[in-house]
Each structure stands twice: as C-alpha cells, then as structure tokens.
Amino acid sequence: MSRLCTGLIICLLIGAHVRAQELDIYGYFEPQYMGLYRGSNYYQINSNKLRVDLKSSSIENVEFGANIIYLLYFGKKNWNILDFLPERITSGVPSEIQPLFQLTYKDSFFLDNVYIRLSNSRFALMVGKQQISLGTGYFSNPTDVFNVKDALDPTYEQPGHNAVRMDLFLRPRLSVMALYSPLEMDWQNSGKLVRIKVGLGHFDFSVTGYEMQHTSTDFYTFEITQQRRRLLGVDFVGELLGLGVWAEGAYNFMKQDDDFYEFILGIDYTFESGLYTLLEYHHNSPGKTDHTEYDLNDWMRYFVGETKTISQDQIYGFIQYPVADLIMIGGSTVFSISDQSIALVPMVYYSIFENVDLTLMLNLYVGEEGKIFSSSLGNGGFIRAQVYF
Amino acid sequence: MNRLFISIKIALSVILLFVSGVQLYAQDDMTADEIIQTMTETMNPEQAKGKIKMTIVTTTGQERTFEYNTFSKNQGEKSLMKYVKPKRVRDQAILMLNNADDIWVYFPRTRRVRKLATHAKKQKLEGSDFSYEDLGSSDEFIDEYDAVLHRDEKKQRKVCYKLELTRKPESSAGYSRILMWVDKETFVPLVIDYYHDVDPELWEKELVCGDIELIDGIYTPMKIVMYNKLDNTHTSMEFIEIKYDVDLPDNLFTEMGMQK
C-alpha cells in the first residue's frame, strides 16, 4: 500500500513537472569521517550521503515534495554491540545468540519523504511520508513518539514517517493538529494523535493526546511484545525574568506494563557578546538510578531507540559562541545524575564557503565501566561537510 | 453630479496634502519626540511587501549573500521573513510579532517551529551585523528611549535633525545610547550610530541609509548598510522589490503563514 502511495505521488510530481516545468531540485552532499579510539584500537566508519529534494508548487495551494537519500558507508561497517557492554552482562548471553547483536551499516537508497500538501489560509492536509516534530525540548521530546534524538547531536534531521496530518488554524495563535499514522492498515493499532496549541502572551502552550501500539523487545529471548499505549502530554515555551523557558512532559498509560512518565525543563539565554547558553533537566521514569542494575534489555532498548535513556535523571548543557564571522565554537555536555557519568561534546562549525559548511565534533566519555557514558564505550569524533546545491 | 462630487473631493485632497506638506516643512520647531514619531511613521508604512538582498562582508573580506522575501503589517508591528537564497537556509522563515517581542523560527528540513525568547533579539541574523532587534522593533525608538534634539547637521549633503536617544532605565533595549541624523525633507534617518549595551561611550555600529526613492508615495532607502565598528565588518541590505500598496492578510503572520 505504501509503495502504491509512493508511486502515485511520484507520478503526480512528474506530472506536475511536465505540466508546468516548475519542479525545484535541490539538496546536499554530506561526507562524514568518524573515528573511534577504544582501548588501544582505532576504528573508523565513514559515510557519503546525498540528499536530493524535489518540490513543486505549480498548482495553487498544492505542494508536492519528496527527498531521496543515497547513503554509502565505508570503513568498519560491522560491529557487535556486545563488545561495548560490561562483561557482567555479556557473559550471560548464550554464544548461539551473540551473532544477533551484530550491527551492520548497509548502503541504502530510499525515499525519506514523499508527500502532498493541500492548504488554504486556515487549513492544511499533508499525506505521505513526512517530517514530524513535536515538543519544545532540545535534548529530548517526551511528547514525540516518532523520533529518538541522538543525545550527542540532537538537532540532526530525523527520518520521515508515514502519516496523514491535518492542521486547522482557528485563530492567529490557536491551532489544532490531527494525525493518523497507519501501521499495517489496522486502525486500532495505528497511531492517532490530537494536539491543540494556543498562544497566551509571550507563551505558547500545547496539549497532546496520542494512542499507538508500543513495541518492546526482550533481548534475552528476542521475543517482541506489543501493547496499547496512550500518551497525554503538555508543553510550553516562553519567557520568564528575561530567560527563555520551556517544559515538556508526557504521561504514558500502558495496557500491560507499568505506566511511565518523562519530562524536560529548559532555560536559555543569549549574552550581549553573542554567547548562547542552554540548560535542560531531563527525567525519564523507566530509567534506573543505580548503574549496577542496567541489564542487557536496558542497554539494547537504548541502542535501538525503544527507550530514550537508561539512566533516570540527566542534565544537558549547550553553549555556542561566534568566535569569528563565519566560525562558531561551542559544545554540549550530558551529565547523568543517576550514575555520575558525563559526556563532553566540543564542537566547531565553520561556514567555509557560501554553500559549504564544516562541522567538527568530538565525543569524550568520562565514566566508569557499566555507566551510561563509560569511557570503555570509546572516545572519538567526526568531521562532517555539508555542500548544498 | 457624481463627477462634480469626485472633482471637489480630489481638489480638497490636494489642498489638504499641500497644507499638511507646508506644515511639515514649516515646522522647524518640532520637538525631538515629534521628529522620532514622524520618522518612525515614514520608516514603518502600514503594510509592505518586498524582496531584499543581504550581503555580509567579513573581516577577511569574504562575502555571504542572502535573499529573502519580507512582509510587514501594522507599521512593522508584525513582520515575516522567508529566505530564498542560499540553498542552506532556503524556505527558513522568521516571524516577529509585537515589534519583535515574540519571535518564531521555522526550519523546513525538520518542519519544526521554535519560539525564541526576547534575549534572542540580540543574536545576529545569519551571522550578519543586523540583530533581530535591529530589524523587528519598529516602535523601539519611541517606547524604549528618551530623545534630545541637538543642532542641525549635514549628512550626505542634506540638512538633518540630530537626535540623541538615551535608553530609559526600565528598558531592555540592546543599545544604551543612539545618535541619529534624520533628513529634514524626507524624515528618513540617513545615519544612525548605536552605542554599546553597557558602555554608552563605546561606538558599536553605524547604519547608513542611501539611494532614497519615492515609492508608492513613501520615501524609501533602497540600500541600508550596517557597519560593525567593533568587528570591522559590514552588512548591506538592498531592496530588489518593494511595494506598499498591498493588502496582506492577517493569517500570513502566523505559523501557517511561515510554512506556506
């Protein structure tokens, strides 16, 4: 069904192009070189990513869009996740299932987004594979069940999701969003979301309700459990005492497992010098407070994105300063309050040419073995270029 | 009968325009506040729609060029910018309401709208020498500063009112002091000197307006250059297109308008 939709939309796109010759083609090429020191060994995994965006607005109030991603990996493409976990955990994993923990970076070529958007002054309907971003948090978004951010690079673009999305703009700062995310064409198990957003003074508030199928994997047996999950979330963003403030939280009602909740509180400020600072506190109730209790399921669910963090409380900090006209330096840090480990991520950004950016980012883990930011996970970094066309 | 009525109406309008014009030029005893008010009205027409080319020149002489569409309403109280070039920021939009007290940025790659707090007004716009505050606060000179009128001075061979603005104690505006030279004929500020937030003697930026043209009955500086005296950089903004005779819908200045 999704292939049929994709084909239909591409036909419409090409049709629109033939009709009006108004198809915009743009995108970027992104080579990335990533190195990792672990113990006395050095590894590298590199990639070349090409993203081509197609967009047509040749018919009034109708937008067709798509992007195609071609991703090639080279270097060490095969990894076994068990190599990164404490021995007390891996020693209990039967040797016959150890190959199942193999992670392979495969070259890929896919349509990441492909959609039609119909809109007028008060209404928008978007059908197809599309970007979905929810919530006000920077490090994590408790109300966003579609995406899991990379703690070390949280603003990097997220994959597209199949959905039918409708936005109603009732007043200038009052809108309602309804979203249906089909899953195997089963209405009951598909995602259904309603979000109301209202602006009051210098604040924006949102309330989100979502029902979906929740999947969790038992990595000792590789059995998959699915159950109904209902989420009630709220978020706001605004200003208090001159500081930017925001909060985002969600309570999850589970059909079988225990209910859980997650929230984030954040502040930011820009100094006269241009120095930008941001601080967030994140609490994830399924996370653990004692790192000796982290088990195989905790680690694996974290690596595959079934849970957002394995430690319960963390603080995220971000700082950025324009050291020269085209150069920004800064970095981020994640400190796990629960297990007292820390990740440091210094960063340099350089707009080297008009449409060429360079980013250098390091990740330095300072923590004992078995903690979320254990130095035994390896220290490294990457250099990434983005060439826009 | 109808034609006669129209003729009388036109004649009355011409007389009124003439009288008001004469009054404008004759009022050499205008107060500082009146000059600021007239200048603000001149620089912030009821509605505007245009395309701007912004060129940033760095300390090393490198150039970065941006092009964006701009829309404003309610004398600049609402404004919207949508980037056209370069590709890196294409379709990114910035919405400023309440004279830039409320700012939202739309990122098309993630389809995310992020609200910024007012401290973000101090941030440079795409690394340029303009801050959000420089672009969005249409009534700032009236509300945030006390003005004093000095003796007339010439700038760009035009006789100008020279005004000194000092930030009000309760204000959070980004500059402690401002000097400006307002053309007595057009009420366009030809030069504005901005002084540092903390040190009122530290000259931070200079704005120079040039190529003034009469468009839809409004004097418009077609080129504006902001010189950063501390970083030795400058940024120019040139109107590629500008129209004042437009009727922009209110819903353009919303999240929906940013994404459309």
Q: What is the CATH number of the domain that holds A93?
A: 2.40.160.100
Alpha carbons B255 and A237: distance in angstroms, whole number: 15
Alpha carbons B126 and B240: distance in angstroms, whole number: 19
CB-based contact (8 Å) between B247 and chain A? Answer: no
Query: Three-class SS string for chain A?
Result: CHHHHHHHHHHHHHHHHHHHCCEEEEEEEEEEEEEEEECCEEEEEEEEEEEEEEEECCCCCEEEEEEEEEEEEEECCEEEHHHHCCHHHHCCCCHHHHHHHEEECCCEEEEEEEEEEEECCCEEEEEEEECCCCCCCCCCCCCCCCCCCCCCCCCCCCCCEEEEEEEEEEECCEEEEEEEECCCCCCCCCEEEEEEEEEECCEEEEEEEEEEEEEEEECCCCEEEEEEEEEEEEEEEEEECCEEEEEEEEEEEECCCCCEEEEEEEEEEECCCCCEEEEEEEEECCCECCHHHCCHHHHHHHHHCCCCCCECEEEEEEEEEEEECCEEEEEEEEEECCCCEEEEEEEEEEEEECCEEEEEEEEEEECCCCCCCCHHHCEEEEEEEEEEC
- The structure tokens 């672009």 sit at B135
- Which A residues, 53 through 112, put their C-beta within 8 Å of a C-beta on chain B? none
CB-based contact (8 Å) between A260 and chain B? Answer: no
CB-based contact (8 Å) between A131 and chain B? Answer: yes
Identify all chain B residues contacting A119, using CB atoms and an 8 Å cutoff: 256, 260
B116 strand-pairing partners: B103
The reply to whether residue A133 touches residue B124, judged by beta carbons under 8 angstroms, is: no
Query: Which residue is closest to B102 within chain A, CA to CA?
Result: A202
Query: Which residue is closest to B123 within chain A, CA to CA?
Result: A274
CB-based contact (8 Å) between A322 and chain B? Answer: yes
The reply to whether residue A355 touches residue B112, judged by beta carbons under 8 angstroms, is: no
CB-based contact (8 Å) between B85 and chain A? Answer: no
> Is the bond preceding B86 in cis, omega lying within 30 degrees of 0?
yes
Q: Which of A125, A158, A354 to mutate to test the interface with B (most CBs of B within 10 A)?
A: A354
Considering CB atoms only, which of B86, B112, B118 is closest to A355? B86
Query: Which residue is closest to B127 within chain A, CA to CA?
Result: A325
Distance from CA of A291 to the nearest CA of B (A): 34
Total domains in chain A come to 1
A-B CB pairs within 8 A amount to 107
CB-based contact (8 Å) between B251 and chain A? Answer: yes
- The whole domain housing A237 covers 2-388
Distance from CA of B57 to the nearest CA of A (A): 9
The reply to whether residue B198 touches residue A124, judged by beta carbons under 8 angstroms, is: no
CB atoms within 10 A of CB A262: 26
Short-list B45, B54, B49, CA closest to B226: B54
One pLDDT digit (tens) per residue for chain A, 389 residues: 444 445 545 555 555 554 555 789 999 999 999 999 988 899 999 999 999 999 998 888 899 999 999 999 999 999 999 988 988 899 888 888 888 999 999 999 999 999 999 998 889 999 999 999 999 999 999 999 999 998 888 989 999 999 999 999 998 889 999 999 997 668 888 999 999 999 998 999 999 999 999 989 999 888 999 999 999 999 999 999 889 999 999 999 999 999 999 999 999 998 888 899 999 999 999 999 999 999 999 999 998 888 889 999 999 999 999 888 789 999 999 999 999 999 999 999 999 988 999 999 999 999 998 999 999 889 999 999 999 99
